[in-house]
Amino acid sequence: MSRFRFFDLNPEQQDAASHEHGPLLILAGAGTGKTRTITARIAWLISQGVDPAKIMAVTFTNKAAREMKDRIAGMVDPDQAKAVTASTFHALCVRILRGDAERLGYKNNFSIFDEGDQTGLIKKVITRVCAKDEKIDHNLAKSLISKAKNSGLNASTDENSLAGAVYRRYQEELHSLNAMDFDDLLVQAVKLMEEHVEVRDKWRARVEQLMVDEFQDTNGLQLRMVGLLASGDPPNVCVVGDDDQSIYGWRGADVSNILEFERHFPNPKVIRLEQNYRSTNAILGAANRLIRNNPRRRGKNLWSPQQGGEPVRIIAVPDDRKEAEFIVEEIAAHRRSQNLPWEHFAIIYRMNAQSRLLEENLRKHKIPYRLVGGKSFFERREIKDIMAYMTALLNPSDDQSLLRIINTPPRGIGATTVELALAHSVEHRQSLYEALRHDLFLETCTRKAAEAIKRFTDELEETRIRVSTPGAPIAEIISTLIENCDYMEDMKRTCKTPDEAMNREENVREMIRALDEYQKRSKDGLQGYLDEVSLDREREEDKAETALGVTLITMHAAKGLEFPHVHLIGVEDGFLPHDRSKAEGTVDEERRLFYVGITRAMKSLIITWCRARVKFGSPMHCLPSPFLQEIKGEHVEEETYEEIMSRPMGEEDIMAQFAKLRAQLSS
């Protein structure tokens, strides 16, 4: 452990890192070195003789898991670091299920449905279940199903409602396709371990020390999973989190998991990390004053050895257009006066729709920016097509994937033939693929259609055999499959411009390259690659984080990030807290969301609110958020747009105006 210096940690971090046995709750405030403490704890445990292969750290994002592994690799022997498991909940569940899913009536090669697959199947189910005079929105149905699963309710719980009928049919369809959605991964893994003690014991034997990051974001099922994995008496489980940053209640996170940790794991050691390494005391003072207003929390008081700092500014502006103009000009002036890179600035807002006026003004001023949350690489049509081909190779029962590729590119299998095949599959209780290969069905088709179907299924069968051969060059095989069916040529024909064709072709080639790179570093074959892609959709957001320019990002997406200079916009009553939160009783979570926004700032923080904002096409009068009253105190200044604009211009302001005029003339 020569590369790890234990005494570089502060006293509380040392205390947390060197805890030996029994439950441990680390309450880690924003910017207090949480990841450093977790990785130091792993390094310390290894130094004390714990087998690194029996240390498991579970978190919520692949980015966090990768960062953890990278940091551990810098502290201990490379082979020891490699042996440690750092995984997301979903990736862990896939590992558990791949070995024993057959105990639950699935095949171990089950498919994982992403949001697009899920939406498509729910739409199909709704058309089959709902009568003409009955309606249920597919997004609402998807949300209700997800909430039911994460609350531990199965499809038979609500037998009479329309939503319950959709849920039941959806689960039946998923099972017949040998597929699971993301919620199922957790539901089924917990079910497997609770109903099959030998599976639970097998996994417990692999985990001597369990660590869980971002514990405040866990739901009831994830808490049960932690309990199933934790071994020892008392259990050696260490959870790290911050109840003040619990902002995902709307998607099932239960803050009581961390608030009532002692109820689930009695007599834990509790350690608070309060020394902040990110923000100035001016920013931390505002954050502390705000969050103290939440009645149900574990007390923490963030502090920093950095004294003072720029005052936090609260600025009232006339309307949302003036707000966008003011912020962009303020950033340009700040950047110019201190010769800073654009990447030091972030504009954070409550809702995505608030970015439009900001983007217009940034483009007008020719300021580079990056909008976090754009369309993912894996959501692009051509990538979903290739993913469907690969999924169908491994899981022929996945009708959803097969329907996507059966006539993509066109191969003479028309919609009528597909409908007949689907009807045959239902009648004979077969998958669509089995129906397509069934002589009884082929005899009902025209000779031309039957020949097209046979060519298609024969190609899939031959390719399946090739990719299943140990050590086979999978990327090359998939590339050949794409080439043989003329996918690229057909794709180019459907593009509106040569640029679009070039970009889409490059996307396909990039995926083949990624598959090749995966095979060079892993022995898990095509199934392993598909699992990694399904579970790592946020990798595109990671790329967005490293792009150049001013960052535009929502408060939810900004969690875990930091920026030297932050603008929090639209802090008005009705936006923050959102109107809906008052009726739903979730104002405390809205306050935590604002707290997360404030604690992203390192050196300066400007908060703006509008007296009027266009909503639903009409200007509406706005009031400042009541949260602004709560942050007032030392090192917080209030100003108005009019006061700022009426101040005499200094030399820098005059030069900025000339620069602005020159830019307008040149454009």
Residue that is written with structure tokens 């620069």 in the block: 659
**Contacts of residue 256, Cβ cutoff 8 Å, sequence gap at least 6:** none
| pLDDT bracket for residue 603 (50, 70, 90) | very high
pLDDT one-digit tens code per residue, 259-301: 999 999 999 999 999 999 999 999 999 999 999 999 999 989 9
pLDDT at residue 493 above 90? Answer: no
At residue 155, the pLDDT reads 64
> Can you give the pTM of this predicted structure?
0.79
Q: Hey, is 88 helix, strand or coil?
A: strand
The matching CATH number, chosen from 1.10.3720.10, 1.10.760.10, 3.40.50.300, 3.10.110.10, for 281-375+544-666 is 3.40.50.300
Q: Do domains 6-94+187-273 and 281-375+544-666 have the same CATH topology?
A: yes
Cβ contact 70:39 at 8 Å: no
Whether the predicted pLDDT of 615 surpasses 80: no
Task: Examine the pLDDT at 472 and tell me if it is beyond 50.
Answer: yes
Please name the residue that has the structure tokens 């100003």.
639
Neighbours of 153 (CB within 10 A): 16
Amino acid at 376: S
Instruction: Give the mean pLDDT of the chain.
Output: 88
- pLDDT band of residue 129 (cuts 50, 70, 90) is confident
Question: Could you tell me the residue ranges of all domains in the chain?
Answer: 6-94+187-273, 111-177, 281-375+544-666, 378-536
Position 374 scores a pLDDT of: 54
Beta bridge partners of 563: 601
* CB neighbour class for 642 (10 Å; exposed up to 12, middle 13-18, buried from 19): exposed
- The answer to whether 331 and 367 are in contact (CB under 8 A) is yes
Residue 353: pLDDT band (50, 70, 90) is confident
The CATH fold of domain 111-177 = Arc Repressor Mutant, subunit A (1.10.10)
- Mapping DSSP onto H, E and C, the string for 504-553 reads HHHHHHHHHHHHHHHHHHCCCHHHHHHHHHHHCCCHHHHHHHHCCCEEEE
Cβ-contact 568, 323 below 8 angstroms? no
**Nearest-angstrom CA–CA distance, 27 and 216:** 10
d(CA 169, CA 125): 7
- pLDDT above 70 covers a percentage of the chain that reads 91
Strand partners, 620: 613
* 72-100 pLDDT tens trace: 998 999 899 999 999 999 999 999 999 99
Is the domain spanning 378-536 CATH 1.10.1040.10? The answer is no
Q: Which residues are catalytic?
A: 34-35, 213-214, 245, 600
- What are the structure tokens assigned to 623, written together? 């009031």
Given a cut of 50, whether residue 20 has pLDDT beyond it is yes
Residue closest to 111 by CA, chosen among 338, 313, 390: 390
C-alpha closest to that of 189 among 149, 158, 155: 149
DSSP E strands in 254-380: the ranges are 269-273, 312-319, 345-349, 369-371
Q: Which CATH number fits domain 6-94+187-273: 3.40.605.10, 3.40.50.300, 3.40.1710.10, 3.40.228.10?
A: 3.40.50.300
* Chain centre to alpha carbon of residue 43: 28
**Residues 355-403 pLDDT 10s:** 878 988 898 898 999 988 655 567 778 888 999 999 999 998 888 899 9
Say how many C-beta atoms besides its own lie within 10 A of residue 296's C-beta.
Answer: 9
